[in-house]
Amino acid sequence: MEIKEIKAKNIIAKSKLPDADYVVNPYTGCEFGCIYCYASFMGRFVNESINNWGNYVYVKTNAVQLFDKEIDTIPEKDTTILLSSVTDPYQGVESKYKLTRGILETVIKKGYGGEIGILTKSSMVTRDIEILKKIPQIDVGMTITTTDDELSRFLELRATATSMRIKTLDELNKAGIPTYAFVGPLLPHFRYKPELLDKLFASLVEAGVEQVYIEHINLSTYIRKRMFEYLKDDPVLQEVYKEAATDIHREELDKIVREQLHKHGLKLRLNDVIYHHKEPERDVLQ
């Protein structure tokens, strides 16, 4: 893993995501290296190729200082700041650099009253439970795409095992921290094996989760190129993923999702299964 320290020019960026007004990415790159990651295009800002995604992390060592200054200009009313949109705020390097933690401490120090959203695939978030408890408007999301640890290891190479992530949600809920699960990308095989989505939702409910975001898989050209490198020895799986780019696939899966949400009494945030099909333009990047 290549770790480089850099200085960023700014740290709070405006966002076009439906659930966040601003985003904060203390790192460029992500050691978790998920094969479906839409953020792999970020390499172009640090001269890294898309296929090298997952092998480098650029640490913005001045992230906390920048946040300390920039937060004064961010409105509070009806505003959500998300950590993070194109990196994981609790990947391994966070244990050394503590940038996410420093940013959260700054939120408390400044008395910022807007909503702070966290989205991660790491159980390291529990390290900061006591800090999270002090933030007046906090919302912690954990990405859960499957209940199968072997599959998650294949898709989400170095992220916390999915069974651990579900336990982490349980721990956060028991600590009284509002949570949600981000089921994205919605894996194509749920269309053929709805019982696996049933199992996933059941395990979320058991962990105390009440709300979910769900997003269809994004198969933009650059994502497909990288993902199909991993699937190259499996033509059957390749076909399943090609089919996943069709409207019919999404419609069929949407029906299954709605049935399962109803069965488990889970609330679907944004009231829709999100679908982003465009090449990256969602965030202003720093």
The residues of the shown chain that bind ligand SF4, judged by CB under 6 A, are 30, 32-34, 37, 39, 87-88, 121, 156, 159
As a whole number of angstroms, the distance between CA 62 and CA 60 comes to 6
Nearer to ligand SF4, 66 or 142 (CB): 142
Nearer to ligand SF4, 221 or 271 (CB): 221
Nearer to ligand SF4, 143 or 264 (CB): 143
Find out whether 72 and 65 touch, Cβ atoms under 8 Å: no
Q: How far is the CB of 80 from ligand SF4 (least distance, A)?
A: 18
Q: What are phi and psi of 99, to 5 degrees?
A: -75, -45
Strands, E, within the chain: which ranges? 2-6, 12-14, 22-24, 27-28, 56-60, 80-83, 115-120, 138-143, 179-186, 211-216, 267-268
- Helix, strand or coil, per DSSP, at residue 229: helix
Q: How far is the CB of 72 from ligand SF4 (least distance, A)?
A: 28
Pairing of strands 179-186, 138-143: parallel
CA dihedral 87, 88, 92, 96 (to 10 degrees): 80
Inter-CA distances, 151 with 43, 163, 260, Å: 26, 11, 21
Report residue 163 CA to chain centroid gap: 16
Nearer to ligand SF4, 37 or 81 (CB): 37
Q: How far is the CB of 195 from ligand SF4 (least distance, A)?
A: 25
Q: How far is the CB of 89 from ligand SF4 (least distance, A)?
A: 9
Q: How far is the CB of 35 from ligand SF4 (least distance, A)?
A: 9
Nearer to ligand SF4, 147 or 264 (CB): 147
